[in-house]
Amino acid sequence: MGFDEEWAGLRAAAAERGSTGMRLNGLPEEGPAPGYGPGGTSTLASTPSEKRAAAGVIENELLTSTRKAGDHADESNGSAVTAFSGWATAAALKKVQTTWDGQVKTLLGRLGRERDGLRNTATTLRGVDIDRRDGIDTIRLPSAMDSYR
């Protein structure tokens, strides 16, 4: 089968699957959009205890293990550099070590940011909620119900 025949077959299969165009201002074929209207479910869920647990795993397991793996590679590579002293291989191993150290540092930074993000999510979400409420309160008209707040 040549390219043209294969391409025609792929185009026909795509046409059978239906339009791939974007749909705006439309609802799913069955029921309301998630999070909106009767029966819709909220798509934002935040479980602080699970986030704290995940942050703890990053802190106590992943960061620790990553540091140990980085240190182990440093020791092993250092021994190899010494063994190949005077050879071009030693210079190449030093370059590998520099690259490895940079990658370990990047990974540790990424894990730290993920940990901090998990720990700060509840505070961030609460801050956004308060900010929205304050914004609405600035345009809201006074009500007799205000005394019940």
CATH number at residue 76: 1.10.287
Q: Is residue 108 part of a domain?
A: yes
Exposed e or buried b per residue across 77-89, where buried means at least 16 C-beta atoms within 10 angstroms of its C-beta? beeebeeeeeeee
CA 98 to chain centre: 27
Q: Is residue 75 part of a domain?
A: yes
Domain with 96 in it: 47-136
Residue 65, domain member (yes or no): yes
Counting DSSP H helices and E strands in the chain, the numbers are: 4, 0
Percent of the chain with pLDDT over 90: 38
> How many domains is the chain partitioned into structurally?
1
Q: Is residue 141 part of a domain?
A: no
* Three-state secondary-structure class, residue 27: coil
pTM value? 0.55
Answer yes or no: are the C-beta atoms of 122 and 51 closer than 8 Å.
yes
Task: Indicate the range of 71-75, 94-98, 110-114 predicted with least confidence.
Answer: 71-75
Q: What is the mean pLDDT of the chain?
A: 82
Where is 90: in which H helix or E strand? helix 88-139
Per-residue pLDDT of 6-63, as tens digits, reads 889 888 887 777 665 655 655 556 655 555 455 555 555 678 888 889 999 999 999 9
The residue-averaged pLDDT of 82-99 equals 92
Tokens standing for residue 40:
């819709």
The answer to whether position 90 is within a domain reads yes
Higher-scoring residue by pLDDT: 46, 89: 89
Asked, for residue 145, whether it belongs to a domain, the answer is no
CA distance 21 to 84: 60
Judge whether 15 lies within some domain: no
* Residue 20 is assigned to a structural domain of this protein: no
